[in-house]
Amino acid sequence: MSFFTDKWRSPAVSRTLRKAHSLVKQNRYPEAIRLLTKANSRLHNSEIEILLVNLRHESFFHHVPTSSLASWPPQPDDLYADQPGIPEIDRQDFNATNVASGVFNHGSIIVRNMLTKDQVSLMRKSIIKTYAQHDKAMAGAPETETAPWFVPFNPAPREGTEAIVERGWYRKGGAELAADSPRGLFNLINCLQDAGITDMVTEYLGERPALSVRKTSLRQIPKDLNAENGWHQDGAFLGQGIRTVNVWIALTDCGVDAPSMDMVPRRMTDIVPTGTEGALMSWTVSQILVEDAAGEDEFLGAGQTHAAHEAVAAAPAGDESEFRFRLAELRVAGGEEEVAGHREFQSPAERVALDAGDDGHRERFDPVH
């Protein structure tokens, strides 16, 4: 889409867009994305950011998947056998070897102090602005007024993909799709790259990762939202043969004054049945099956609190973030709002954060590179 004609664009923006479109016509999507990204770091332009969302999505379908790994899943040594609960490392120990050891042997790993104070502040502001502009859109404001913070992403239909029609459901649960916020997605991807997360995931998966549109969300959850969302495994939604890493970043302290996540701190090698007696919804797992799957392991969170059935995970005081490899989403609490609870199984180890498609399953995610 285009908000302005060349008459109203700045010369720098016009030149950048012409160069990008020229590259796209030659199917040189990665070069076009790099050009736009570099220019937008200086120009902060709505049209560039909207075009980036669309080109990142389109680029995925022009990308030929290759893997540097001879086999999957890997079988890393357990570097955290002496740590009870969920393994923890600090930012300086963040690398693919340590992450793989934690995820494949224990189901997840916590990385403390992953983002800088400035990155945390940027993403919190991005989420607040995205919500505010979505509110304006629901009140009838046109996209020319809500851009660049809220412009619904509606990709062209493709075989194996579905239209995004669940925005009301996402918002009711306290989430915004990052792809619906061109500037929010731009800031998020920059944070992931600057923090070394993208490079780590590339090494971890053995190929360049892609974000899942439906699983990458910006969260700001009211404290009065019902936290009983039920237990689930992300692997049940993704299908077989998909290599992913789930990322959950807490941008505010959570687990004491604000709920967080309950987790079963172990690697699950199978998908647990959903929708059985006692499950809250057709896609959730009943409490009985969760307890059976957990065995003697208690439910834990980022604070390593041993308290079954309670929202746990008290983050240390301060502005630096906690980074947990679980959910592909960002959460923020601002003003009267706090982070709401969530319950999560460990997915099978083949499901490792930014979704990287594999084999014939690549198209089901509506991804963005």
- Asked whether residue 292 is domain-assigned, the answer is yes
Which has the higher per-residue pLDDT, 59 or 238? 59
Question: Into how many domains does the chain fold?
Answer: 1
- Asked whether residue 14 is domain-assigned, the answer is no
Residue 93 near residue 79 (C-beta atoms within 8 A): no
- Asked whether residue 298 is domain-assigned, the answer is yes
Contacts of 57 (CB under 8 A, 6+ apart): 153, 155, 179, 213, 366, 367, 368, 369
Which has the higher per-residue pLDDT, 266 or 349? 266
Average pLDDT, stretch 215-234? Answer: 75
Helices (H), 147-242: 167-172, 182-194, 197-205, 235-238
Question: Per residue in 170-201, pLDDT tens?
Answer: 888 788 999 999 999 999 999 999 999 999 99
Q: How far is CA 253 from CA 171, 218, 332, in A?
A: 22, 16, 9
- Asked whether residue 61 is domain-assigned, the answer is no
Instruction: Tell me the pLDDT band of 325, cut-offs 50, 70 and 90.
Output: very low
**What pLDDT is recorded for position 367?**
64
Residue 31 near residue 62 (C-beta atoms within 8 A): no
**What is the per-residue DSSP string for 294-315?**
HTTPPPB-TT----TTS---PP
- Asked whether residue 212 is domain-assigned, the answer is yes
**What pLDDT is recorded for position 368?**
63
Pairwise CA distance, residues 341 & 255, whole Å: 8
- Asked whether residue 25 is domain-assigned, the answer is no
Contacts of 332 (CB under 8 A, 6+ apart): 123, 124, 127, 128, 218, 219, 220, 251, 252, 339
Beta strands in the chain (DSSP E): 88-90, 110-112, 175-177, 211-212, 217-219, 248-250, 261-263, 322-324, 329-331, 342-344, 367-368
Residue 342 near residue 137 (C-beta atoms within 8 A): no
Closest by Cα among 80, 76, 298, 85 to 204: 76
Question: Per residue in 236-279, pLDDT tens?
Answer: 777 667 788 888 888 887 766 666 677 788 888 788 898 999 88
Pairwise CA distance, residues 260 & 299, whole Å: 12
**What pLDDT is recorded for position 231?**
85
Contacts of 52 (CB under 8 A, 6+ apart): 33, 36, 37, 40, 182, 185, 186
Q: CATH number, domain at 159?
A: 2.60.120
Residue 267 near residue 346 (C-beta atoms within 8 A): yes
**pLDDT of 281 above 60:** yes
Give kind and range of the element (H or E) at residue 131: helix 117-138
**What pLDDT is recorded for position 25?**
97
The angle at the Cα of 24, spanning 21 to 26, to the nearest 5 degrees, equals 120
Q: What is the mean pLDDT of the chain?
A: 77
- Asked whether residue 320 is domain-assigned, the answer is yes
Closest by Cα among 222, 253, 173 to 337: 222
**What pLDDT is recorded for position 295?**
78
Structural domain containing residue 99: 73-368
**What pLDDT is recorded for position 320?**
43
Residue 37 near residue 52 (C-beta atoms within 8 A): yes
Give the pTM. Answer: 0.82
| 356, amino acid identity | A
Residue 151 near residue 182 (C-beta atoms within 8 A): yes
Strand 261-263 with 217-219, pairing? unpaired
- Asked whether residue 1 is domain-assigned, the answer is no
**What pLDDT is recorded for position 250?**
83
**pLDDT of 215 above 70:** yes
Instruction: Tell me the pLDDT band of 69, cut-offs 50, 70 and 90.
Output: confident
Closest by Cα among 350, 324, 354, 351 to 339: 324
